[in-house]
Amino acid sequence: MAHALSEVHRVLQDNGHLLDLRPRTGSAPIHIVSAREHVLAGEALQAAAEHAHSDAADAALTEAGRLGLFVREHATSFPYFYFWDSPNEVQRYLQEEWDGIFSISEDTWRALRAAWAIADGDASLRMEMNLSITRWRKLGGRAA
């Protein structure tokens, strides 16, 4: 990551911006939502390796700031929602797109399917992720 940040610094115009957009580590609640109600059905847990990647990115960006390559201008977080029409769609998506990144325990799958079975006909499943976005401004000079 440190090498990548040095390369970004090299090619970015002076006072140009780097955006760091990524999921915050932890869990992502899954709700069954309908026009009538929202019911927490379980949560997807982020893999430990993803925590390590996020920690490494934080450390690299902090070091880039310490070296005077970038200055942090603004940071915030916001919810981002994924929607599916059935538990099977959730399971297929997690296996195909996020294998090894998020997991759902067997107990949670059972609870989710049970809650889905009694949900309203217009219900869908919603997973909420918390994303962080940070704007870094390039400072002049050469990369270290």
Q: Model confidence over 59-88: pLDDT tens digits?
A: 999 999 999 999 999 999 999 999 999 999
pTM of the shown model: 0.80
Q: Do the beta carbons of residue 18 and residue 1 sit within 8 Å?
A: no
Burial class (CB in 10 A: 0-12, 13-18, 19+), 112: buried
Q: How far apart are CA 27 and CA 47, in angstroms?
A: 9
Contact 28, 44 (CB under 8 A): yes
